[in-house]
Amino acid sequence: MSKPNNPAGNPVWQQHTIRLAAKPRGFHLITHELLKQLPELPLFRIGIAHLFIQHTSASLSIGENADATVRDDLESHFNRYVPENAPYYLHDYEGSDDMPAHIKNCIIGSSLSIPINNGQLQLGTWQGIYLCEHRNHGGARQLVITLNGTH
């Protein structure tokens, strides 16, 4: 990939909207899936990658990338921490996982900012990006990824 003409080292902004295929309920490691969709990332010498999920029933997080049981334990914990069918939920139009999914999204969050250095996300050795799918049938998910930095 050729470097865009930016002789003054001015900040460069690039933005992508990407779609992730539907995943089952749970915590999913998506780092490599995202990197495949960011071919210009290696051009950034220094910067920030901002990831934002455009949904209220799924979240983004950074967590352990080596042992899948961590993701299983997170799902188990959040299901206990935010149970389905709580008698005080009023919002249940789309089923028993509806309101808990919104609560989990509020707790975990909708966005991440990750530093970029020499064309790579500066994740720690054991860190990966998670899609936290809180619905039983959440469907495809859409993310907006904004890259800002210098080439």
**Please, what is the Cα angle at 146 between 116 and 45, to 5 degrees?**
30
CATH number at residue 111: 2.60.120.460
Residue 29 covered by a domain: yes
Residue 123 covered by a domain: yes
pLDDT of residue 12: 96
Alpha-carbon distance values, 32 to 58, 65, 117 (Å): 19, 11, 17
Number of domains composing the chain: 1
Residue 144 covered by a domain: yes
Do residues 120 and 23 lie in contact, with contact meaning Cβ atoms separated by under 8 Å?
Answer: no
Domain that holds residue 106: 12-83+92-150
Residue 64 covered by a domain: yes
Half-sphere exposure of 17 (CA within 13 A, CB side): 4
Residue 27 covered by a domain: yes
Residue 28 covered by a domain: yes
pLDDT tens per residue across all 151 residues of the chain: 445 555 567 899 999 999 999 999 999 999 999 999 999 999 999 999 999 999 999 999 999 999 999 999 999 999 999 999 999 999 988 999 999 999 999 999 999 999 999 999 999 999 999 999 999 999 999 999 999 999 9
Length of the chain measured in residues: 151
Residue 2 covered by a domain: no
Residue 71 covered by a domain: yes
In terms of Cβ atoms closer than 10 Å to its own Cβ (0-12, 13-18, 19+), residue 25 is: middle
- DSSP conformation letters of 100-111: HHHHHHHHH-SE
The two counts, helices (H) then strands (E), for the chain are: 3, 8
The pTM assigned to this predicted structure is 0.92
